[in-house]
Structure 1
Amino acid sequence: MSTLASFESILTVADGLNTSDIHLSDRCYPTFRLSGRLVEQTDLDQLTPITLQGFCKVITDDRQYQQLVEHRSIDLAFTSKTGLRYRVNIYFERGCPALAIRWLDGSFHSLEELRLPKQLLKLAQLKDGLVLVTGATGSGKSTTLASIINEINETRPCHILTIEDPVEFLHHNKQAMIHQREIGRDVNCFSDAIRAAMREDPDVILLGEMRDLETMNAALMAAETGHLVFSTLHTNDAIGVIDRLVGAFPGEEQSGVRQQLSMVLRAVVTQTLVRPDNATGRVPVNEILIVNSAVSNLIRNHKPEQIYSVMESGRALGNQTHDYALALRVKEKLIPREQGVRLARKPHAFNELVNQLLKGYN
């Protein structure tokens, strides 16, 4: 069996088990993430440095392999012979290459099919500003954003520009015209791409990730100049993203950035995937902050701790806290109450929320 065929055979087994992630590393069996849990596949061959090195060579082109040699890590997209797409991160550990592979569901699902809150549809109708989708690695941020971008593509005659590393979901022109730029292949870095975007007449910009200060600054400027910008950050709550973003800037710039953010931020959606007890699959739990004049004022005056109470009292606007989102999942019988209590940030108040929802109160 050729090296490429051996690599693809692992992907085929993973596909048959409905695997979300694959880990390949030295002296280990291929390990799959199934419904959130890592499971070693001892029926497959144990991996060796020679095998892993071979995998790296057959799934990269010359430019990518040279980048891997120089920088010791690389992100890339790989399409199997069966047409399935994967995001691959190759990195070195103990001097040997290792691969983290994420299956990319190439089909687009509606927000309803993904069990996402219906108020996210309103984000697709925004005309300008900044929308952030946050959460841990593997929490489904890219899938949620792809669904929103697809909604725009299906309903609005506009120009959508995506900047990704690598391109994960392949979009095709529908109502909108859409161009997708990949870091390393079409443009050098995120900050260069978003600055260049100002000359490419976009209405909507999807920025795969705000990784550095320069990119954050460019994204804020793009949102400030009348574009609708979507991006991601790695934070676990909607309010924390504000401090994370402002805190990335030097101290003397933070007051100005807070002012800028208060004007352009439209919404923050934090996503967590929960695996129900004694069940397969995972359920999204979304904390949502919809920015209105009250929230803008609190951002501007550096009072993020007061935003939480605005979220609790502003459910009619689409806001929902993490615990309220959990309580909704309990009401919908997607997760058991006991699990919700364990995951809640305020367990005692959470029980009361569930009781109110079961009685029909919002």
Structure 2
Amino acid sequence: MTDLQRPSTSNPAPRNVPPMPPPMPAPPPPTLSTQRQATQTLDMSNYPGVPAAPPPVAPPPPAATHRPGTPPPMPTVPSPKSTTPTLTLEKLIEEAYEKGFSDIHLGVGECPRFRNRGEIEKTNHPETDKDTFISWMREVLTEAEIQRFEEYLEFDGATQYEFARVRINVFGSLKGYAMVLRLIPLKILTMEQLRLPPIFQEICHAHKGLILVTGPTGSGKSTTMAAMIDYINKEMPKHIITIEDPIEFVHKSQKSLIKQREVGMHTRKFDNALKAALREDPDLILVGEMRDKETVNTALKAAQTGHLVMGTLHTNSAVKTIERILNLYSGEEQDAMRVAISESLVAVIAQGLCRTTDGKRAAFHDILINTEAIKEWIKDGKYDEITELMKQASFDGMITMNQSLYNLYQDGRITEETALEMSPTPNEMAQFLRGRV
């Protein structure tokens, strides 16, 4: 009995023990072979009623797509929005350039608009949402520039494409962010192409003094100044320094040596750059905008110390430009400033743009040349006499806006209505048109 029981006890022991170990080797295979079996066992826990067999492998893909989340859904998310991002800022700028428009107006909650020969036109593009606007900003601004805009809620800058240079202004508004882009042609038009009067070339030959080009925004001041700088660059061996905010027309050194500086990028302030320019051996300094008293002071000082200075102001006539400069100073300072202006001024050119009969635009001017008689009247503050002299001194190259508009009318370039509309004194313009003046 004992001999029979020994084999009987040895046999059942291996039979009862081995059934337990077989499940134990099961876990090692999944970890050693691949991770798929591990993920399948996890997926099976989500589907407890389905055995570990090939059929349940089909359900995991939806679960797997939801876990990684981003990769598969991304194609489906942009699909509804893909209509907006396809309209890039570059495409808008190219469209405006090809149609000859000067400005692009963009804003959140508004459809893009173009300025066509001075008038705003709607486009068929959809309303701009915030995401699209921010994507446009990222096309032309760096992260640092975007941070600067978010901090100050204003930004001025420029960018360049193969076909045009673009001046950028971004600002906040009631509806959200907005942006205005000014298209600046890469090719600088000559004074002949712009049909500027011959006196402009004579002004460019001045060796020292102050030349002011004035007018409202969008009156073509930058284009006129660029043509004058281009003429000097081609004809005279001078050192030209420009201080702009931002740089608009890009010049290449030809007969002259040109250095262009941008406020905010190459210098902090107009006044700082202007003071530094006096130590940089310049012949001509161009100041993009004479915004404050300090800049005007430094410009006058530079003009009085033997440099030629060109600058811009936002005024509507030549005489008002002198008054505008004097108004920056207190009553006690104005007498001294009248003397300083009379001694340093070369010319004041006030400019405007009007629509021509052929659908283009032409410039008309108010030109004041600082002759000996004008000097005396500036010192005495006799501005009415200056205006009257400008009407009679065409031999000195002076002209009033009404005379300039009347010349355009006589040449058939503008209509009578346009001449009256653009005139600073319509009553006098009407007398011109009736032949009474």
CA distance in 2, matches of 1:63, 1:218: 31
Letter in 1 for 2:90: E
Q: Specify every segment of 5 or more residues in structure 1 that has no aligned partner in the other structure, as ranges.
A: none
Deviation, structure 1 residue 206: 0.6
Letter in 2 for 1:60: L
Q: How many residues align?
A: 355
SS where residue 339 of structure 2 aligns?
A: helix
Shift of the 336–125 alpha-carbon distance from structure 1 to 2, 3 Å rule, reads same
SS where residue 318 of structure 2 aligns?
A: coil
Q: Does 1:251 align with 2:338?
A: no
2:423 counterpart residue number: 344
Alignment of 1:15-94 (within 5 A): 15-42=97-124, 44-80=125-161, 82-94=162-174
Q: Does 1:212 align with 2:305?
A: no
Q: Does 1:281 align with 2:281?
A: no
CA distance in 1, matches of 2:201, 2:238: 17
Summarize deviations over 1:1-49 as a string: whole Å, max 9, x none: 796971111112111211100000111111000111100102x232112
Shift of the 304–4 alpha-carbon distance from structure 1 to 2, 3 Å rule, reads farther
Letter in 2 for 1:291: N
Q: Does 1:97 align with 2:177?
A: yes
SS where residue 56 of structure 1 aligns?
A: helix
Shift of the 4–191 alpha-carbon distance from structure 1 to 2, 3 Å rule, reads farther
Q: Does 1:153 align with 2:195?
A: no
2:408 corresponds, among 326, 329, 339, to 329
How high is the TM-score relative to the length of structure 2? Answer: 0.78
Q: Specify every segment of 5 or more residues in structure 2 that has no aligned partner in the other structure, as ranges.
A: 1-81
Contact 1:3–1:58 (CA under 8 A) maintained in structure 2: no
Q: Does 1:182 align with 2:277?
A: no
2:201 counterpart residue number: 121
Contact 2:109–2:176 (CA under 8 A) maintained in structure 1: no
Shift of the 10–199 alpha-carbon distance from structure 1 to 2, 3 Å rule, reads same
Contact 1:285–1:322 (CA under 8 A) maintained in structure 2: yes
CA distance in 2, matches of 1:12, 1:353: 42
2:310 corresponds, among 224, 230, 234, to 230
Deviation, structure 1 residue 298: 1.0
Shift of the 4–241 alpha-carbon distance from structure 1 to 2, 3 Å rule, reads farther
Contact 2:208–2:303 (CA under 8 A) maintained in structure 1: yes
Deviation, structure 1 residue 62: 3.5
Q: Does 1:305 align with 2:387?
A: no
2:94 counterpart residue number: 12
Q: CA RMSD in A?
A: 2.0
Larger radius of gyration: 2
SS where residue 249 of structure 2 aligns?
A: coil
Q: Out of 123-132 and 61-70, give the one that drifted further.
A: 61-70
CA distance in 2, matches of 1:87, 1:339: 29
Shift of the 338–46 alpha-carbon distance from structure 1 to 2, 3 Å rule, reads closer
CA distance in 2, matches of 1:232, 1:51: 35
Relative contact order (alpha carbons < 8 A, sep ≥ 6): 1 or 2 greater? 1
Summarize deviations over 1:313-355 as a string: whole Å, max 9, x none: 2110000011100111012111123432343344454355457
Contact 2:211–2:309 (CA under 8 A) maintained in structure 1: yes
Deviation, structure 1 residue 58: 2.9
% identity of equivalent residues: 35
Summarize deviations over 1:142-175 as a string: whole Å, max 9, x none: 0000000000000001100000011111111111
SS where residue 249 of structure 1 aligns?
A: coil
Summarize deviations over 1:51-93 as a string: whole Å, max 9, x none: 212222331123322321221111111112x342100111111
Contact 2:354–2:418 (CA under 8 A) maintained in structure 1: no
How high is the TM-score relative to the length of structure 1? Answer: 0.93
CA distance in 2, matches of 1:266, 1:355: 34
